[in-house]
Amino acid sequence: MVNEHLLPHQKLDVYRVARELARRVHAAKIRDRELRDQATRASKSCFLCLCEGLPNEGAALRHKYFVESRNSLAETVGAMDLAAAIGVVRQDDADAVQELGSRLRRMLSALMR
């Protein structure tokens, strides 16, 4: 994307980390259909809830969307951890998602203060 056409919230690090998390989950190609579906839906939900919350000016609604994003993040990380534990995704992919998830959780927590 050309930077000059980005919306203000698309320039934030939290946006980029959430997008990268969803990209990494999708690219991991989890070999269990159910876990792949759960992980990809949760990572997309994490990103999209964040996208709804960031431009919102109402504090209560922002908080609601950020909580939903954080909850979906926990589901994403859990699904990837389980996928690695049962051997249906590479451990390196699960570790990368875990690292991004940890970073994103700190950012979301800061946004909720």
Residue 3 confidence (pLDDT) above 90: no
Q: What is the DSSP string of 58-112?
A: -HHHHHHHHHHHHHHHHHHHHHHHHHHHTTSS-HHHHHHHHHHHHHHHHHHHHHT
Instruction: Give residue 59's pLDDT.
Output: 95
Instruction: Give residue 1's pLDDT.
Output: 61
What's the pLDDT tens digit per position in 13-59? 999 999 999 999 999 999 999 999 999 999 999 999 999 999 999 99
The packing angle between helices 13-28 and 59-85, to 10°, is 30
Token pair in block for residue 24: 């990494």
What's the pLDDT tens digit per position in 100-113? 999 999 999 999 99
Domains of the chain plus CATH, in order, are 9-111 (1.20.1440.60)
